[in-house]
């Protein structure tokens, strides 16, 4: 029997996690600007709960909006939309409920997703806003 040998991660790039985080932050900033240009007021960014992190919290008219931002560098290995499965939606709903309870919000709220594709030059190729994904 061969001994277990620890393999290198799939990505051979030494800073792949740092690069992944940088792409995510860039997507959040693009989403923030996108929302601000459409009249949304950003209340929080990277808000931490016991269950995770909320990328953006905004208000539009009288509705509180919890926003998940999904960013990819290209769509060669799938779209950002494909990363929002049932478990992710459930986590988003739990995070949203925790936030609403913490700030004692009693009005309407919803959960949105913004999907961002960044090209090779780190410019936005596509920004798509999906409203009320858990409703």
Reading the chain (135 residues) residue by residue, the pLDDT tens digits are: 444 444 444 444 455 666 667 778 889 999 999 999 999 999 999 999 888 899 999 999 999 999 999 998 877 778 899 889 999 999 999 999 999 999 999 999 999 999 999 988 888 999 999 999 987
| Closest alpha carbon to 59 in 23, 130, 25, 108 | 108
For residue 110, the enclosing domain spans 16-130
Whether residue 7 lies inside any domain: the answer is no
Burial of 109 (0-12, 13-18, 19+ CB in 10 A): middle
- Does any domain span residue 52? yes
4 is a domain residue = no
* The residue to which tokens 């990328």 are assigned: 55
Cα separation, 132 vs 111, whole angstroms: 5
Structural domain tally of the chain? 1
* Domain contains 86: yes
* Residue at 82 is within a domain: yes
Q: Does residue 65 lie within any of the structural domains?
A: yes
Prediction pTM value: 0.82
116 in a domain, yes or no? yes
CATH classification of the domain holding 59: 3.40.1350.10
């Amino acid at each position: 029997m061969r001994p277990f040998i620890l393999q290198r991660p799939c990505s051979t790039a030494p800073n792949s996690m740092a690069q992944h985080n940088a792409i995510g932050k860039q997507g959040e900033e693009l989403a923030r600007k996108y929302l601000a240009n459409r009249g949304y007021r950003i209340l929080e960014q990277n808000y931490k709960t016991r269950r995770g992190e909320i990328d953006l919290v905004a208000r539009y008219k009288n509705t509180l909006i919890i926003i998940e931002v999904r960013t990819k560098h290209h769509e060669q290995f799938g779209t950002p939309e494909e990363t929002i499965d049932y478990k992710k939606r459930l986590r988003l709903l739990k995070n949203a409920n925790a936030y609403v309870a913490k700030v004692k919000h009693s009005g309407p709220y919803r959960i949105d997703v913004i999907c961002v594709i960044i090209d090779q030059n780190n410019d936005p190729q596509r920004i798509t806003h999906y409203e009320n994904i858990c409703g």
